[in-house]
Chains A and B, each alone.
Chain A
Amino acid sequence: MLVGTRISPEWLGRPDDLRFLRQVGVDVVDITMSLIPGYDETGRLSRDGVEHAVSRLADAGLRIERINSTGDATRRTFLGLPGSAEELDNLAHNAQICVDFGLPILGVQCFQASTFGHFPKPAHSWVEGRGGYQHLHSDLSDALRERPAPKGSPTHEELWERTVKIFQTVLQVAASGGVLVAMHGNDPPVPALYGAAQILYDFASFDRLFREVDSPNMGMTFCVGTRYESGEDVFEGIQHFGSQGKIFHVHFRNVHGRIPVDGWYEERAPDEGDLSMFAVARALRQVGYQGAIDYDHIMKLVGDDAGKAYIAFCVGHSKGILEGLESS
């Protein structure tokens, strides 16, 4: 397995930061398409832009594992607004770029209710953990109360139809070109937020998506954090999806608390959540997973405004886990 991390768009212009990642032992990166100039304006990846990104990363000894399309790229399609045809065309174009550049995994966002709603208050807040480090606390008690769907929010059925269409469009290009398409489930993993539906929040819904978009190139970012938050068994999930070859990419973060049990959860440093990250890595190995583990979200340490000490800690932790795994 490899150690991966996401990078923010501005990092591409900061070669020292990229070198730092390589120095601490990051092998591969997860980028958002927003990192490619022109994408946010047009929704389309430019060849020059991708070439530049690939080359800047290579200068630092890094390569792209996953390139992730943004929620904006499919907004009109999900909401049933005019302009869907153009979005789908852009997605197909972007998939072709991935094929042409040999980018291994294309991430396509599912519909996240949080990107739609004008919600009364954010569910996330920063709280103090050991020694006063700041980590995320999510209290969903208000967001999960039953209420009517907000005006204009897509129904469950509409979301299924549109989701399948989006993934089929992408797969038509990606599959023949050897690119894997990874879906990341809903974050937070719940059927609705403030009454707005979302559909990819549990194992059964992932199964349905993989039935309806039936391709060996269709799979998932197995986000250990959201899977644990959902209350479902992370290890069963790894076994279930891993044995079908559906796990293309892994978000390897630790959590304390589960939504169905506690109504809240906290994102925590990898060594102090409810999960043994070693047990998670071992389960991944058992299903033959060979991709990247990515520590995902960044918590705040004292004096670490750039987040680099936290990144270093997480990469060190991931490498320690893999070291133990190799010898066990």
Chain B
Amino acid sequence: MSLPMRVGLGQFNELTDEMCQFIKQMGCDDFLMNTPKLPGDTGCWKVEDLAALKAKADEYDLRLMALENVPIPFYLDIMLGGDRRQAQLDNMVQTVRNMGTVGIPILGYHWIPASVWRTPEPERLRGGARATRFHEAEHAEAPLSFDRQYSAGEMWDNYCWYLDRILPVAEAAGVRLALHPDDPPVPVLGGVSRIFGSLEGFRRAMDRYDSPNHGLDFCMGCWSEMGGHENVMKGLDIFVPCGKIIYIHFRDVKGTADCFHECFIDDGQVDTFAVVQRLHELDYDGFMIPDHVPATVGDSPWQHRGRAHCVGFMQALIQVAGKLQPKVA
């Protein structure tokens, strides 16, 4: 059964009763977890641990839609072409199969072994709220993240090695793999080339591995960093109709890939309502979650208040889009 476009929550790593209640209270039925805290000594996630998450979600009548990111050590050598890549692949195969067994339909992943980069000293927003920022020039002297430089060609070859092997497993397991952009989407950081920071990069990955089980975690923030509102709309126009957008991170920034700061969702450079309208027109049937939110005074570590603000905003945009352009049932 197809669901409508809808708001979910995510980006936490422990599923408590209180979290389940909070998600429901926000009017959401969908959530994802980012790098859930599960035993992973063996380099993979076991069926029983995944099943416990699924059971907790079921208890609250919630849909556990995705696990976003395994711990980087699960596939670091895969990304860097290291000695242990075959062993890590075997484990990733197991994790994907286990997710399929349990019925967790999406695994979000990224291709940035050195992770997300931000620049110290947060940006100050309205009322003194704090948001992360990135200024590439301030990282000019950054040391290598790993033992040496990794070229774009090499990162792509490693990617292909992995996808050649993991995608058939995902297809067989009924799990969809969702690729997150490199954040920030600049060509190189810490000596590691970042190959998924442009439309061309995503096209290449989606064309080469064209499967219903492969698509994008469309991070609106990163797409905004790459080229503002126009770039976000372009990405949607290309990838929604072919079913390649599996889910959406609904955040925004001000600035460009090499110099930007995050911001409140109502105050960014993207016309967020136009985005939701376009998604509505294109019959997008996935979910979208608040991602990073600015730090407001007195908020919890997970930023309940900041996320509630973003959820309220998203719920309203979807309601307005539906009201302006009702769909015939």
Contact = CB atoms under 8 A, between A and B. Distances in A.
Is chain B a partner of chain A in the same complex? yes
B309 to A, nearest CB: 4
Given A23-B297, A24-B296, A310 B308 contact: yes
A309 interface: yes
B127 A276 contact: no
Contact of A60 (B23, B127, B299): B127
Interface string B292-328: 0010111110001110111111111101110110000
B127 A61 contact: yes
Given A16-B298, A301-B25, A312-B305, A320 B313 contact: yes
Contact of B23 (A131, A318, A319, A324): A131
Nearest to A132: B21
A324 B309 CA distance: 16
Say whether chain A's binding surface is mostly helix, strand, loop, or mixed.
Answer: helix
A308 interface: yes
A132 B61 CA distance: 13
B315 A301 contact: no
Contacts of B265: 316
A303 interface: yes
A91 interface: no
Of the listed residues B24, B273, B313, B317, the one surrounded by the most CB atoms of chain A closer than 10 A to its CB is B313
Interface stretch (A185-193, A238-246, A267-275): A267-275
Interface in A60-82: 60-61
A327 B272 CA distance: 10
B120 interface: no
A149 interface: no
Contacts of B18: 302-303
B164 to A, nearest CB: 43
Interface in A267-299: 269-272, 276-279
B148 to A, nearest CB: 43
Given A23-B126, A324-B317, A309 B24 contact: no
A320 B298 contact: no
A312 to B, nearest CB: 4
Contact of A24 (B272, B305, B311, B323): B305
Contacts of B26: 131, 313
A19 interface: yes
A304 B25 CA distance: 11
Contact of B321 (A269, A272, A276, A324): A324
A278 B264 CA distance: 21
Contact of A327 (B23, B129, B274, B296): B274
B123 interface: no
A11 interface: no
Interface string B252-270: 0000000000001111000
Say whether chain B's binding surface is mostly helix, strand, loop, or mixed.
Answer: helix
Contact of A279 (B125, B271, B323): B323
B146 interface: no
B266 A316 contact: yes
B39 interface: no
B306 A312 contact: yes
Interface in B153-208: none
B27 A271 contact: yes
Given A19-B128, A23-B127, A302-B22, A320 B323 contact: no
Contacts of B298: 16-17, 20, 306, 308
B229 to A, nearest CB: 12
A126 B117 CA distance: 46
Interface residues of B, number: 48
A302 B323 contact: no
B320 to A, nearest CB: 3
A317 interface: yes
Contacts of A310: 308
Given A19-B297, A20-B127, A316-B309, A131 B315 contact: no
Given A320-B316, A320-B320, A323-B266, A20 B308 contact: no
A315 B307 CA distance: 12
Given A269-B27, A323-B273, A324-B321, A303 B304 contact: yes
Given A23-B125, A313-B308, A319 B266 contact: yes
A170 interface: no
A259 to B, nearest CB: 25
Nearest to B314: A320
Contacts of A303: 18, 22, 300, 304
Given A302-B18, A320-B314, A327-B271, A21 B25 contact: no
A319 B272 CA distance: 11
Contact of A328 (B27, B271, B310, B320): B320
B277 to A, nearest CB: 8
Contacts of B22: 131, 301-303, 309
Interface of B: 18, 20-27, 60, 125-129, 264-267, 271-274, 277, 294, 296-300, 304-306, 308-317, 319-321, 323-324
13 contacts: A20-B297, A23-B125, A131-B24, A133-B25, A271-B316, A278-B323, A316-B310, A319-B266, A319-B316, A323-B317, A324-B320, A326-B273, A327-B271
The 10 A-B residue pairs with the shortest CB-CB distance in the complex, in nearest-first order = A131-B24, A320-B316, A316-B312, A324-B320, A22-B127, A317-B312, A23-B127, A131-B25, A316-B309, A316-B313
Given A16-B297, A24-B264, A133-B21, 12 more contacts: A20-B305, A21-B127, A131-B21, A133-B25, A306-B298, A308-B299, A311-B305, A312-B306, A312-B312, A319-B313, A320-B316, A324-B316
